[in-house]
A and B are shown apart, each in its own frame.
Chain A
Amino acid sequence: MQNRVISRKDLASFVDDLIKTKSAGEVIGIKAQGNKFNFGPLASAAELRLDYDISLLPPKKYFFPQTETVLKYEVDKTPKVEAVAAEKPLCIIGVHPFDIRGLLLFDAVYGGKDPDPNYFLKRNNAVIIGVDCLSPNPKAFAASMGTNVTEEGFDLMLTDLGGDYFVTVGTSKGHNLINKAKTKEAGAPDLEKRDKVRKEAEKKYQVSLKMKKEEIPALLDATWESKVFKDRSETCFSCGSCVMVCPTCVCFDVQDEMALSLKGGERYRRWDGCMLTEFASVASGENFREHKEQRFRHRMYRKGKYLVERYKYLGCVGCGRCASACLAEIASPAETYNLLKEAK
């Protein structure tokens, strides 16, 4: 598919047109929120902040919301139960490559032999317009995780060339959309410029892994007993901030809530995470990860070993959100893996 180059002005018109016509669904974009950034419904292209470093929450929230009703029921003598899952066409603009890689992991987890309609009914129709991250967050290490760029998982990918944007076309859906905008065909010099911009951005990452990412599973295999887990988790508040902001944290809890009428209610699922105290406890009172050291270690193994063994994707994309959110400053997987390597 032919890549394009689009001017800032024409990109703004393209986005405003998407908002006005809703031709690709409701338009979500990356916007400023105080002095930070977050994804939200876009009222106009002027709100877009494609120069952002990181969003507070990853875009997974549009496919896997913080809370989501999955069943509605009436508690008559014979209960009437109905599954709740609906399509919602969305166009998300400004997704960074590492967050796209997070979504690819989600696709693997929520697919498989028992695919989840609540996820895929929203995900299947979504248009993803990515943007290369040129000003990485100080805690990010996506370059070490190989997720600072992606060749898959987007319909269109924007790269800020200074004046114009390079538009990498990923799918025919993306091709048909960008065809409606005023663009130029991208030539070899444009492609060269795109790659140069990406290379320069790669150098801006301040945190890096002191090993190849492929070495993480073997490193963890050799360090289960390491003191690093205990030392590093000592100041953990078990607040769960790290897992709540993570683009690859897929876990959920399921709860029931009765309506005030007591004639019916709904079952909903909501984000849950293995760093929270009760995550691995059972009704008898046994908690299989009672100590914060165990929970801390589990998260590191989950990210660096278990998920990659199961789904081929590492469970960390190096976005830096957990490290930014953690009050105790212990959440960064890169820092822990580096400490494990040093202590070995």
Chain B
Amino acid sequence: MVMQLTAKQSIHLPRTAELIRVEKLSDREKVFEFKFDDGKELGQKPGQFVEVSIFGVGEAPISVTSSPTHKGSFELAVRATGGVTNKLHTLDKGAKVGIRGPFGNGFPLDTLKGKDILFVAGGIGLFPLRSLINYVMDKRSDFGEVNTLFGCRSPQERLFIGQLAEWDKSKDMCFLETVDRVPDDEWKGNVGVITTLFPKISFDPKKTYAIVVGPPIMYRFVIAECLKKGLADDHIIMSLERRMKCGVGKCGHCQINGLYCCQEGPVFTYAQVKSLKEAV
């Protein structure tokens, strides 16, 4: 049992990073770009998360929204909703935070290589998914056909608008988006929940993997659409949200039945999730 350890190996000890850019995405969301003080890369896989520390406030698990193909810094897109995230929203360029991680399994890049991909993002589910979408766009020749569906509640809640426009124009992917409801007449796009976009696309279910990230309620309906389109259970991949406090499989908060979201997740296939009664 004897393990020679020192305090420096603490599971709680973060590295400090500097906030080098802040950009408002909507009323509640901002994207923050960080650079480690030690100059090292984060070295994340798309779909992994970090624990962000604001000293004196606490720590929160946040998915990394930038692709690892982007070097020198990394981005976290954050909704102001709890203690840490609200405080983060008050920070300006030059502020220092603590970062632990990356943690979690991330999206299965080896499985996805050479395959067709259907991205389905609901609301801020776009944040973790964006790391993979940008990764795929940067390594476009490694992948087949790409379809991307994005849905949010209203036009005001659209995120990364510049990037959505780029994807819309891009010949490298088919991009469709919708909003649940329209409070004004300016919106000329699709209206309806995200599942209403499914009849508008076609893909070969044998070659395609669906990557789905959104609020808990969205999964039920989107999975049903994916299955209707003929996707096999293990071709439907999702990222689940839990309260990962320690990130290293000890604190117990992120358990989904017997699994730890921070260890075996946050990315799961529907084949796995089906046997996990607490998953969705």
Q: What is the bound-complex CA distance between A263 and B11, given in angstroms? A: 24
Give the total number of A-B pairs whose CB atoms are below 8 A apart. Answer: 149
Are the C-beta atoms of B7 and A258 separated by less than 8 Å? no
Q: Give chain A nearest CB distance to B257 CB in angstroms.
A: 7
Q: Which residue from B98, B250, B256, B277 sits with its C-beta under 8 Å from A116?
A: B250
Instruction: Say which one of B12-20, B145-153, B179-187, B220-228 lies at the interface with A.
Output: B12-20
Are the C-beta atoms of A75 and B10 separated by less than 8 Å? no
The B interface is mostly helix, strand or loop, or mixed, namely loop
Q: Which residue from A258, A280, A309 sits with its C-beta under 8 Å from B56?
A: A258
Are the C-beta atoms of A109 and B7 separated by less than 8 Å? no
Closest to A257 in B: B56
Q: Which residues of A contact B11 (CB under 8 A)?
A: 114, 116-118
Q: Which residue from A115, A269, A272, A282 sits with its C-beta under 8 Å from B3?
A: A115
Q: Which residues of A contact B242 (CB under 8 A)?
A: 280, 282, 288
Q: What is the bound-complex CA distance between A309 and B5, given in angstroms? A: 27
Instruction: Tell me whether B249 is interfacial, beta carbon within 8 Å.
Output: yes
Q: Which residues of A contact B98 (CB under 8 A)?
A: 79, 81
Closest to B9 in A: A117
Chain A, interface size category, equals: 35 or more
Instruction: Tell me whether B75 is interfacial, beta carbon within 8 Å.
Output: no
Q: What is the bound-complex CA distance between A84 and B11, given in angstroms? A: 11
Instruction: Tell me whether A2 is interfacial, beta carbon within 8 Å.
Output: no
The A interface is mostly helix, strand or loop, or mixed, namely mixed
Q: Give chain B nearest CB distance to A68 CB in angstroms.
A: 10
Are the C-beta atoms of A112 and B257 separated by less than 8 Å? no
Closest to A252 in B: B251
Q: Which residues of B contact A294 (CB under 8 A)?
A: 278
Closest to B280 in A: A288
Q: Give chain A nearest CB distance to B71 CB in angstroms.
A: 24
Q: What is the bound-complex CA distance between A301 and B278, given in angstroms? A: 12
Are the C-beta atoms of B243 and A280 separated by less than 8 Å? yes
Q: What is the bound-complex CA distance between A306 and B257, given in angstroms? A: 7
Q: Which residues of A contact B250 (CB under 8 A)?
A: 109-110, 114, 116, 250, 252
Instruction: Tell me whether A254 is interfacial, beta carbon within 8 Å.
Output: yes
Are the C-beta atoms of A124 and B278 separated by less than 8 Å? no
Instruction: Say which one of B57-65, B190-198, B230-238 lies at the interface with A.
Output: B57-65
Are the C-beta atoms of A280 and B10 separated by less than 8 Å? no
Chain B positions 1 through 41: 1 when the CB is less than 8 Å from some CB of chain A, otherwise 0: 11101111111111010000000000000000000010000
Closest to B80 in A: A283
Q: What is the bound-complex CA distance between A70 and B8, given in angstroms? A: 11
**20 A–B contacts from the bound complex (CB under 8 Å):** A78-B16, A78-B96, A81-B55, A85-B5, A85-B10, A121-B5, A124-B1, A251-B253, A253-B251, A255-B58, A256-B55, A256-B59, A267-B53, A267-B55, A267-B59, A280-B243, A280-B255, A281-B243, A283-B81, A301-B257
